Structure 1
Amino acid sequence: MSQQHTSTATPLWWRVGRVLLLLLLLAGGIVGFKAWQILWKPNVAASAFGPAYLYIRTGASYQAVLDSLEKHELLRDPETFRQVAQWRDYPAHVRPGRYLLTPELGNSALVDKLTQGPQDTVAFTLDAFKYKPQLVRQVARQLEADSAQLRRLLNDNGLLLRRYHLDTTTILTMFLPGPYKFEWNTSATQFLDSAAAMHQRFWTPQRRQRADSLGLSPTQVHVLASIVQRETSEPTDKPIIAGVYLNRLKRGMRLQADPTLLWAIGNFGVKRVLNKDKLVDSPYNTYKHKGLPPGPITSANRSSLNAVLKPAAHKYYFFCARPDRSGFSDFAETYADHKRNARKYQHTLDSLKILR
């Protein structure tokens, strides 16, 4: 009997189809890998100097952004970023700000961040300052706010009166030293408005009522607190010194505050006030003029303001730095006692040969 054999050979069409499928999968894999590289592969250059930030100024062009990215070497592959930016129409949606660039960001995520995401805010501490230029320099170091515009605003008496109810002298009472947080592209006007809002929040109804009970306006509290702050950095002495000055004001005595003389002569490095300093022709000379000076001699911090709002109750009218130069003061009810304390302090300065 003959045996019939069945052929098991794979049809040609199947073999060709399988090859084509493999080629298509390979091509798709290559395309997908290239897409991953262009869109999602991390493309921010690692920095050995801490976080990397991209600063985009107000009104900056797309080309300016590219120039900044390349100048500071923030990208591993600038060309792929340009491709994605064009695909996503980023050139028409450039937004100013300060943006934190972390190493895991790919081009797609980076474009999203620059067009939609919130910018990274700037947190800084505003240090106490005595003069407007010191304030302007601090702000200009941290924010995009134009320093020339900020100077103009701080000296525009009409605008300050209309907008903040303060003049070119008392405007310095509006700024509280301490922590601030802003978007980097904050303008000069926005900075002033934010400072005014913080000042408003500080002056709660309770604090305003307390100031009123002392016979002071909020601005006068700031001015007196600025003197207290220049007199001492010791928290326990601040309410006592505030009480001394309030006692003198109530009695109609001149404040005779040395720090106001130093502000008038423009030299806070003086260790020894001389009689000739007391002759300076200035409304800040509280040896000549009764009452508070027209403005603050430094930006008062919260502890100094609270010391004025909650002064120590006592009968002191005088105080003098202790001869041990500890930063604390000796207080006196009578001028005779004060003279004795002052002589001890002057003797210390003499022994240290401190003439000025």
Structure 2
Amino acid sequence: MALLATAGAWWLLWRPNVAASPEGPAYLYIRTGSSFSTVLATLRQQELLQDLRSFEWLARRREYPERVRPGRYLFTPGLGNQALLDMLLDGRQDTVHFELQAFKYKPQLARQFSRQLEADSASLRRLLNDNDYLQKRYHLDTTTVLTLFLPGSYRLLWTTSAAALLDTAARVHGRFWTPRRRAQADSLGLTPTEVHVLASIVQRETAKKEDKPIIAGVYLNRLRRGMRLQADPTLLWAIGNFGVKRVLNKDKLVNSPYNTYKHKGLPPGPITSANRQSLDAVLKPAAHQYVFFCARPDGSGYSDFAETYAEHKRNARRYQQHLDSLRIMR
């Protein structure tokens, strides 16, 4: 009898119950507020367990139905009921490895996170548009809050709320802004937020690492001389079309605070999420006297720089002729 009891206990507690999946790692997602019956239904539907009845029997005896915890749980092949319930009762979630890509507008940011987290995009958008909340917690407003988010890798719990997500972004942001970087910004007469805004323009101007500090230097020279930035990417942000290859004079008439052809100084917020390379290009700009630049007509992605308007006009004419040869009108 003792042998039978021992065998029965092994069967209930430790016998492998998670089936191997040919499709790779299997996860159980338990949404906030889910009941035990919902958990069972999910396990049944996804066929994660070989013997659901033994799991349910043990779960009830360990009072799991009263202690269901939300999360994203990795079901490793070979796990038995005891180990599974230890994991679920302790709430030992598997983290989500999230790669934040560059974004231009709040809805794009919200959609990126909502695709991989429990929180929906609407909850994040509400916080991003709550000026009082952002001012009190981060000293940012509904426009500058986008400077809080640095593209790159994040490890998050699937159950991370919109508020916790903003706090996580703020911690990553804080680690980037070391005392050395803050001192560099101060030496340029810029706040960290202004560095983000300028870096977003630099990032939209070029993908070439070598050109970024030079372009940053051009814009800083313009700011120091009281010139308008006249940055085409800010116009494209204002008209909502980054696919434009050829900026037209009518684009320069758009009524927007982001129109740097009309308004002096930096726009009120970033036009994309600046990455670390672009931020460091602004913090360590190339020293020169250039105040103009134009894309090279060879399609290389690099720019030609000029100190005088006459030289810049020649560069711009060559580029316009290049667009004409490709029949690019817009």
TM-score (normalised: structure 1): 0.91
State the distance in 2 between where 1:146 and 1:342 align. Answer: 46
Look up the match of 2:268: 294
CA deviations on 1:255-278 (whole Å, 9 max, x unpaired) are: 000000000100000000001101
Look up the match of 2:324: 350
The 5 A counterparts of 1:78-117 are 78-116=52-90
State the distance in 2 between where 1:83 and 1:69 align. Answer: 14
State the distance in 2 between where 1:197 and 1:59 align. Answer: 28
CA RMSD, 1 decimal: 1.0
Look up the match of 1:275: 249
CA deviations on 1:69-89 (whole Å, 9 max, x unpaired) are: 111111111101001111211
Q: Check if 1:43 corresponds to 2:13.
A: no
Look up the match of 1:10: none
Look up the match of 1:129: 103
State the distance in 2 between where 1:151 and 1:341 align. Answer: 43
Decide whether the 8 Å contact of 2:107 with 2:121 is kept in 1: no
State the distance in 2 between where 1:133 and 1:247 align. Answer: 34
Displacement of 1:179 after TM fit?
A: 0.4
Look up the match of 2:220: 246
The 5 A counterparts of 1:249-264 are 249-264=223-238
Displacement of 1:118 after TM fit?
A: 2.2
State the distance in 2 between where 1:174 and 1:182 align. Answer: 16
Displacement of 1:29 after TM fit?
A: 3.0
SS in 1 for 2:134: helix
SS in 1 for 2:202: helix
CA deviations on 1:48-68 (whole Å, 9 max, x unpaired) are: 111001111122111111111
Q: Which is greater in Rg? A: 1
Q: Which amino acid aligns with 1:225?
A: A
Displacement of 1:204 after TM fit?
A: 1.3
Displacement of 1:117 after TM fit?
A: 5.5
> Number of paired residues?
330
The 5 A counterparts of 1:1-150 are 27-116=1-90, 118-150=92-124
Relative distance call for 1:343 and 1:207 in structure 2 (3 A) is same
CA deviations on 1:98-153 (whole Å, 9 max, x unpaired) are: 11001110011110111126211111110010000000000101111232221111
CA deviations on 1:139-184 (whole Å, 9 max, x unpaired) are: 1011112322211111011111111100001111110000001111
After TM superposition, the structure 1 stretch with the greater mean CA deviation from structure 2, 334-343 or 112-121, is 112-121
State the distance in 2 between where 1:212 and 1:76 align. Answer: 62
Contiguous gaps of at least 5 residues in structure 2:
none
CA deviations on 1:306-325 (whole Å, 9 max, x unpaired) are: 00000000111110001011
State the distance in 2 between where 1:324 and 1:123 align. Answer: 39
State the distance in 1 between where 2:199 and 2:327 align. Answer: 31
Look up the match of 1:335: 309
State the distance in 1 between where 2:124 and 2:167 align. Answer: 12
Look up the match of 1:17: none
Look up the match of 2:140: 166
Contiguous gaps of at least 5 residues in structure 1:
1-26
Percent same amino acid at aligned positions?
73
Relative distance call for 1:133 and 1:117 in structure 2 (3 A) is closer
1:209 to 183, 199, 218: 183
Look up the match of 2:284: 310
2:173 to 199, 211, 217: 199
Displacement of 1:251 after TM fit?
A: 0.4
CA deviations on 1:279-319 (whole Å, 9 max, x unpaired) are: 11111011111100000000000000000000000111110
State the distance in 1 between where 2:122 and 2:305 align. Answer: 45
Q: Which amino acid aligns with 1:348?
A: H
TM-score (normalised: structure 2): 0.98
After TM superposition, the structure 1 stretch with the greater mean CA deviation from structure 2, 232-241 or 93-102, is 93-102
Look up the match of 2:128: 154
